[in-house]
Structure 1
Amino acid sequence: MTKKPANPNAKAALNQMKLEIANELGVPSNNMYGSNKSAYENGVLGGRVGGQMSKRLVEMGQEQLIKQYNSKNR
């Protein structure tokens, strides 16, 4: 599995989503890249933010599929 986005233009949008989710979870943006934290703390933090990003991306994909399905069945 690759870490590259399917669409290279999506990188900025994914970074924006990451910052928004981190803000909602109370993670200070100046510590997003973990220079002041241990590897364990970064792993826990990254898991929380990454998990929420995955959840929201799946929800967005489901919404798009529902819209496509509904538009074809009208």
Structure 2
Amino acid sequence: MANKPVDPNAKAALNQMKLEIANELGMENTNLNGANSTSYQNGEIGGRVGGQMSKKLVAMGEEALLRQYNSKK
């Protein structure tokens, strides 16, 4: 399985989602590039943001499946 977005616009949308989740978690945008942080600190940030992104993407997929299922009834 390739680790590339199917739609080229998806990368921009995922980056926007990443920034929104970081803001929800109280992280500053200036800290997201990791240039002034240790690898351990960057791993902590990436883990929290990545985990929340996964949860949101799964929820969005479930909602889309439910809409599709309910429209067939």
Query: What TM-score, normalized to structure 1?
Result: 0.92
Partner of 1:27: 27
Structure 1 residue 33: Cα displacement: 1.3
- The count of aligned residue pairs is 73
Structure 1 residue 3: Cα displacement: 3.1
Structure 1 residue 6: Cα displacement: 2.2
Partner of 1:39: 39
Structure 1 residue 66: Cα displacement: 0.1
* Aligned residue identity for 2:51: G
* Aligned residue identity for 2:54: S
Query: What TM-score, normalized to structure 2?
Result: 0.93
Where do 5+ consecutive residues of structure 2 fail to align? Answer: none
Task: Give 3-state SS (helix, strand or coil) of 1:7's partner.
Answer: coil
Structure 1 residue 63: Cα displacement: 0.1
Matched, 1:64 2:64: yes
Task: Give 3-state SS (helix, strand or coil) of 1:34's partner.
Answer: coil
Q: Which moved more, 1:39-48 or 1:5-14?
A: 5-14
Matched, 1:49 2:49: yes
Distance 1:40 1:2, change over 3 A: farther
Distance in 1 (alpha carbons) for counterparts of 2:56 and 2:71: 23
